[in-house]
Every structure is written in structure tokens, then in C-alpha cells.
Copies of this chain bind each other. A is one copy, B any other.
Amino acid sequence: MDNQETVRRGRPREFDADVALDDAMTVFWEHGYEGASLTLLTDAMGISRKSMYAAFGNKEDLFLKVLQQYERGPGAYVRDAVGAPTAREVAESYLAGAVRAGTQPGRPAGCLGVKAALAVGAAGQGVQDIMTAWRAGRQADLRGRFQQAIAEGDLPADADAELIARYLTTVGDGLSVQATGGATRTELQRVADATMRHWPLI
């Protein structure tokens, strides 16, 4: 991590790396990994190709850094959700977060993770693997949280944490796809509400 506190020698860069990452995020979000060309990216970031390569490495590195920023920003709802006090609130929070993140007014529709994972082709095989692992990690977080809930008696002892987590991520993924297809926030929240009517999904 290059801290901005460390005094850097040489000509200082003329742009804010975090802002540039956020601009790049929008482009990747809208066009997917392969659809986001360097011209599109650097135009949105307001910097030259050379500056982008100097600051972030290459396109794949840039995407990885965007993904980290996404996890701290719009994608933080997963981390927030597993911190909820009860399993029901975890599920509620997760679905509501997926709806909100997928239908933010100033952002492209859907989930960056879902979109980029599906949009990557033969090129960027590394990106494909990383996205798969990333989504698997989110599912594992939920599964762990539900296992904990079972241990605490918050969920029935015969509940299947793996199944519940997979079901929840499946609905979340579906919500992202629906959002990409143009579904509105209220429409999707209604689906999330309907999903929660059967909790805890024996």
C-alpha cells in the first residue's frame, strides 16, 4: 500500500487515484470487463493511458483495484448483512442491500460482481477465476453466519446453513439480473419481501 503520507519524490500526479478508481468502476460496471476498453476507461477517468498504466499497472490490475473499492463501497452490504444480530435480519439486510446496490440512481443497474463475472469471455481468464472465487467467498460468509446462528439456537438445529446461504445468494444474484433488465427498486423490494415471508426456509 503506498500511503499518501509518505513524501513522494518526482512530479506529483495530477489526479486523485480514488476518484479515478471510482470513475473506472462505473465503466466496468456498465460494460463488463472486456467491454470496458482502455479508451472508455481513461476518458472517464480523465487521465492518459500512460498515467493509468503508471498508477495501476494494467487493465486487469485496475479491475482488481476497482473490485476492492467496490467491496468497500456499493458492495459493502454483504459485510454489513452478516453483522446483523439475527439470522432473519441477516437475510433481510442482504436482500435489501442487493436491491439497493442494484438500483442506485447514479450507478449502472445490477451488481458489478455478477455482471463482470458473466461478461468475461475467454480473455481475462484470471479475472474469471477471481470473480468466481469472490462470489464463492460471499456465499461462504453467509454460510458461516448461518452456521453460527444454528449453534446459537437462532436457527433450528436441523437447518441447512449451506442450502440457506445458497438460496439467499441465488435470489440475490437473480435480483441483480432483474435490475440489469430494468426492474425498478420497488418491484425488486417486493420480491425480497416475498422471499422473507417464508423465513427461515426450512
Q: Which residues of B contact A34 (CB under 8 A)?
A: 34-35, 121
User: Interface residue count for A (Cβ, 8 Å)?
Assistant: 46
| A119, A163, A172, A178, most chain B CB atoms within 10 A | A119
- CB atoms of A123 and B170 under 8 A apart: no
Complex contacts, A182 vs chain B, CB 8 Å: 132
Is A75 interfacial (CB 8 A cutoff)?
Answer: no
- CB < 8 Å neighbour of A178 from B115, B170, B198: B170
Chain A, residues 176-192, CB within 8 Å of chain B (1/0): the string is: 11101111000100110
Contact assessment for B121 and A177 in the assembled complex, using a CB-CB cutoff below 8 Å: no
Contacts of A190 in B (CB 8 A): 163, 166
List 28 A-B residue pairs with CB atoms under 8 Å apart, sorted by A's residue number. A30-B121, A30-B122, A32-B119, A35-B119, A35-B122, A36-B121, A40-B122, A115-B118, A117-B177, A118-B119, A118-B180, A119-B121, A132-B181, A132-B182, A163-B191, A166-B187, A167-B194, A169-B178, A170-B175, A173-B174, A173-B178, A174-B174, A174-B175, A174-B177, A194-B201, A197-B198, A197-B201, A198-B201
Which residues on A are within 8 Å of B, measured CB to CB? 30-32, 34-36, 40, 110, 114-115, 117-123, 132, 135-136, 163, 166-167, 169-178, 180-183, 187, 190-191, 194-195, 197-198, 201-202
Assess the A173–B177 pair: CB atoms within 8 A: yes
With both beta carbons as reference points, the residue of chain B lying nearest to A194 in the complex is identified as B167
**Interface pair B174/A135, CB less than 8 Å apart:** no
